[in-house]
Structure 1
Amino acid sequence: MNKKVSAFIAIALAAGSLVACSSNPGGSSTSSSEEGKVINIYSWNDEFRQRVEAVYPEVKETSKDGTVTTLKDGTEIHWIVNPNQDGVYQQKLDEALLNQESADADSKVDIFLSETDYVNKYSSKEAGAAIPLKELGIDPEKDLADQYEFTKVTASDEDGVQRGSTWQTTPGVIVYRRDIAKDVFGTDDPTVVADKVKDWDTMAATAKELQAKGYFAFASSADTFRLYGNSIKEPWVKKGETVLNVAPEIIDWVNDSKEWLDSGYFTKTVKGQWTDEWNKEMGSKSKVFAFLFPAWGIDFTLKPNWDGEAGAWAVTTPPQEYNWGGSYIHGAVGTDNAKHVKDIILALTGDKDNLLKISKDYLDFTNTRSGMQEAAKDDNFKSDFLGGQNAFEYFAPVAENIEIAPLSPYDQGSVELIQNNFNDYLQGKVSFEKAKSNFEVAIKERYPEITEVKWPE
């Protein structure tokens, strides 16, 4: 381990936001030429496992509890799953990566996933956690030429070297209840509804119209956050600095959310996402008109929570173009399964037929431009859950215009904690200034290396 990386890791350790190291931080992919018998994959849910089972041709079977997938050659994939919330997944992954050098072969991390909120923490050259794809034998310019460019950039290090790949592109749409649209607007036609939600001023007028008939526009202020958050012009924390900058767009979200909540456009019972209360608002008894979701949100979140008949939901163009999420696959430095890692990454992110199968089976908007342009015009991609609608027709134009907000390793904590601490203000429990001071305390507890929080003037 060189001194520069050693110092970098020591700082991260002290901060509680650990970053991986290895005996060769430059990205040596294997410790021996012989493949191991256990492939350890770290993730935060079973979404990636489902996709691997669907398209990776070497899969033989998976245990009933979903923890072990056996391949045809006898190799076992061990799925190590920890929740993403509150940074738990990162903490567990970081601990494993920091022990990578001394771990026995069957305990080494081979593949790990990261989200857009913290992908650059792991794809950083300085971290030495993720193997450059070229060292795995994957040529991004050739093997991944059909990917959306912004996904390739997002998973690249400071020198532009790609260290991860994703099967997803995550353009967002507005997903709305057809029955509520008919009751309030007289129609559930996506074109008409699109005109009702075409920008934030129009959306506010529509929210008032919905509220007058006893409906809520969205479940909570958290549902609109990503659209504002995608608009920031500078990262939460600039590289090499310890000052966290709260963007003006985030304060716009606070102010607008306060106005909307006080006006009755959000429910008062749902205080955030990924809670039982939020999930219930996706059920048939809910009075919530719409959710803002990318493709994965419809399949992985909305669909499991819907208890009515298929065809009750539809999608249309959102009030503002946005993207949300994206799961990046990385080969871990120090893996003893480099060939399997390469094969899995290529099967999941570089094979157009596989990606189209994922899109058809799971409604994922996958990472192949030509494939998604074809899907947008192909009736075979119509969704029963969406009443026969082809959602790709709406996803595709958004995907072409996605501009990723500037990223930093502090994004997940900043996004979570700004919402958590300002929720008390939105609910009328604390003053605006108290919410600011509470956030400052919370963010410094999560990231002790942060020395200052700057607010927009």
Structure 2
Amino acid sequence: MKVKKMLALFLALIMLVSMAACGSSGEPAAPENGGDAQGKVLNIYCWNEEFQSRFTDYFEKPGLIPEGVKVNFVITPNEGNAYQNALDEALLKQDSAAADDKIDIFLVEADNALKYVNTDYTLDVVNDIGLTDADLADQYQYTRDIVTDSNGKQKGTTWQATPGLFAYRRSIAKDVLGTDDPTQVQAALADWDKFDKVAEQAAAKGYKMLSGYDDSFRTFNNNISKPWVDSSNKIVIDPNVMRWIDQTKLYTDKGYNNKTSLWAPEWSADQGPAGKVFGFFYSTWGINFTLLGNSLATPESEGGKLEVGNGIYGDYAVCQGPQNYYWGGTWICAAAGTDNVDLVRSIMYTLTCDPVTMKKITEDTQDYTNNITAMNELAKSDFKSDFLGGQNHIALFAEAAPKINMKNISPYDQAMTEQLRLAFKDYFDGKVTKEQAFDNFYRAVIEKHPELTK
């Protein structure tokens, strides 16, 4: 364990040095791509099976893997940062590893993307891998910005776009607002003042507006006006984050939420048949994969059908909500040292640039994919979600996705957002004062990043 921690710290130090170098006038040396254009083994590092299923269904089954190449998925669940620790350790050994053991592809999330793209561990998808500007032109700009390094080089690409919406219970909206029509519900929730007013109305009817402390956090945090850390390494608390703190304290004290935390069993239960929560902030994947599953009285694994009558299937709808935001997403990065450059290019093109594949993924899974033309076609079609009562949610996602702005993303986002929510839970529950919660937050963040100040 000590060795792993030392390796992770060493890698973090290397990455910080690399980031500093990238910010200087001179560009870092181009990474070595490896020997042959096609190796015998394609090693893919990831933390769950989502990308594996996309790879299998839309790349392997169509017969696009070259003959003689073995695909090896190295999956490390990311509990307690286990995935990043395993990836960091493997990247440290990349130069000395045998060809068949080298990482070819690894996946990152938005919160940790800059940790990797601002280093020489990742390859430029245009100059090193060979995707063209035309290939990438139809991707949503924010998905490119997240994996663009400080020299303006795009170092990853994704099949997903993950704009967020507000998913609400139709039956509760009718009781509280007198309508479940998405246009009218949106008018009632169009800004945070209106949202708070509806929370008060919902409480009067015996409902919770939100399930827990974290539900609205990403919506507020995605709309900060400045990065979490300024040019002098001072931590900046944005007014929009302060508003989340104040709103969540109000909701907790007034009983407008159910005091749950994201992913807790109680939070999931609030989305089901016995729940009395007005709605949930969810992005593309969350609606089709998480909310749908939680809504069922009889899960699919137990023979339950995806149809009206099974729990509250069909009782949800979506609207834009008070602010534009995104949540989640997974990016494909090519590792420096890969000996499968041609194959990596083929994977990146097929799964993230090809409009035919993108459209098919959405039609098959209702996931929202990263191709503007394909998504606009579905937005204007008769595409619909039975789970959402026949609503074409793709149309709302297509309206929201171009508005996402990632100009304030920073390498510190993961630590900031995790530690802030953790520190302020005690404040919401009345165990500490706001000042004490801030002190606990600063202490935790500076322990992880000693270069920062409050």
Percent of pairs identical after alignment? 41
- Unaligned segments of structure 2, at least 5 residues: 1-5, 19-26, 298-309
Moved more, 343-352 or 48-57: 48-57
Per-residue deviation, 1:402 = 1.6
Q: Is the 8 A contact 1:444 1:451 kept in 2?
A: yes
Query: Which of the numbers 245, 253, 260 marks the counterpart of 2:244?
Result: 253
Q: Once the two structures are superposed, what CA deviation does each residue of 1:206-229 show, in whole Å capped at 9, x if it has no partner?
A: 111111122111111211011111
Cα distance in 2, alignment partners of residues 184 and 101 from structure 1: 61
Per-residue deviation, 1:29 = 5.4
- Unaligned segments of structure 1, at least 5 residues: 1-9, 61-69
What RMSD over aligned residues (CA atoms) do the two structures have, in Å? 2.5
1:312 alignment counterpart: 315
1:378 alignment counterpart: 381
Query: Which of the numbers 234, 241, 264 marks the counterpart of 1:243?
Result: 234
Q: Is the 8 A contact 1:329 1:345 kept in 2?
A: yes
* Aligned pairs for 1:18-29 within 5 A: 19=15, 26-28=29-31
| Number of equivalences | 427
Moved more, 44-53 or 241-250: 241-250
* Aligned pairs for 1:36-115 within 5 A: 36-57=39-60, 71=65, 73-84=67-78, 86-115=80-109
AA aligned to 2:277 is: V
Cα distance in 2, alignment partners of residues 393 and 153 from structure 1: 23
Cα distance in 2, alignment partners of residues 109 and 59 from structure 1: 24
* Aligned pairs for 1:23-422 within 5 A: 26-28=29-31, 30-33=33-36, 35-57=38-60, 71=65, 73-84=67-78, 86-124=80-118, 127-238=119-230, 242-268=233-259, 270=260, 272-308=261-297, 309=310, 310-379=313-382, 381-422=383-424
Cα distance in 2, alignment partners of residues 128 and 139 from structure 1: 18
TM-score normalised by length of structure 1? 0.87
AA aligned to 1:251 is: M
Cα distance in 2, alignment partners of residues 84 and 248 from structure 1: 31
Cα distance in 1, alignment partners of residues 294 and 34 from structure 2: 45
Cα distance in 1, alignment partners of residues 419 and 329 from structure 2: 20
Q: Is the 8 A contact 1:230 1:405 kept in 2?
A: no
**Structure with higher strand content:** 1
Cα distance in 1, alignment partners of residues 396 and 337 from structure 2: 41
Per-residue deviation, 1:317 = 1.6
User: Aligned with 1:121: secondary structure?
Assistant: helix
Cα distance change, pair 356–26 in 1 and its aligned pair in 2 (3 A): farther
Q: Once the two structures are superposed, what CA deviation does each residue of 1:409-454 show, in whole Å capped at 9, x if it has no partner?
A: 111111111001101001111111111111122112333x33412x
AA aligned to 2:419 is: L
Q: Is the 8 A contact 2:207 2:278 kept in 1?
A: yes
Structure 1 residue 13 and structure 2 residue 15: aligned? no
AA aligned to 2:329 is: G
Per-residue deviation, 1:12 = 7.7
